[in-house]
Amino acid sequence: MKSALCVTLLLVACAGPRRLPLSSAAVGGFTTWQTGHDRQTVQLLPATGTNALVQRGDSAWMQVKFNVREYGEVSFPLANTAPGVEAPRADLSGCKSVRITYKANQAFIVQLRQTGVHGGIQNHIELPTSVQSTTVTVPFTQFTGGLKPLALNDVAKFNFAFLSNNTAEGYAELIVYDVVVDGYTAPR
């Protein structure tokens, strides 16, 4: 009996971080972080499924790792909708910036996607590689390059995308510890 208990405790202690049910945790108040990629890109983390949230103890973060051919991405709807549900419109017109705390082995694109627009060129910024956790604050005026000017009163989600691998490591990895949209609270 004692040895079975010891083995069980050892397995629990060594289990490490776990992927979370979508409603049990959040990063920056956002509960739905879903991965996507082209057919030739290999998703390495999460190892199964599309839920990119991870938890260890009281800490939660988002983590993805891809062997990128065309693109690997993770996105979250501003309104915390369930996976597979079209992200509804959110009004960020009273907001000025987004603050992101992350670590990445490769530069990546952050898109602020308009409601109901899929694919194509969205207003975006590029964030650099950071081998240590770093926090950046980006004014929404820096999100440019879309087919239309950014309309902050009609946005639906943020999308973080890799378009290539870190050449030395052979993969692209991103960990997001926090996202704060100035003046916005995600609904629960």
Give the domain CATH number at 86. Answer: 2.60.120.430
Q: Which of 18, 9, 32 is nearest to 86 (CA)?
A: 32
Place of tokens 């990546």: 108
Token pair, residue 137, equals 């604050």
Residue 124 scores a pLDDT above 80: yes
Q: Is residue 61 part of a domain?
A: yes
Q: Is residue 6 part of a domain?
A: no
Q: What angle do CA 125, 171, 78 make, to 5 degrees?
A: 40
Q: Is residue 12 part of a domain?
A: no
Whether this model's pTM surpasses 0.95:
no
As a whole number of Å, the CA-based R_g of the chain is: 18
Q: Which of 117, 179, 185, 182 is nearest to 151 (CA)?
A: 117
Q: How many domains does the chain have?
A: 1
Q: Is residue 56 part of a domain?
A: yes
Say how far residue 65 (Cα) sits from the centre of its chain. Answer: 11
Per the structure, the complete domain to which residue 67 belongs is given by: 18-181
- List the beta bridge partners of residue 171: 166
Residue 9 binned pLDDT confidence (cut-offs 50, 70, 90): very low
Q: Is residue 103 part of a domain?
A: yes
Q: Is residue 112 part of a domain?
A: yes
Q: Is residue 41 part of a domain?
A: yes
Token pair, residue 52, equals 């990119």
Q: Comparing 185 with 16, which gets the higher pLDDT?
A: 185
Q: Is residue 66 part of a domain?
A: yes
Q: Quick check: helix, strand or coil at residue 2?
A: helix
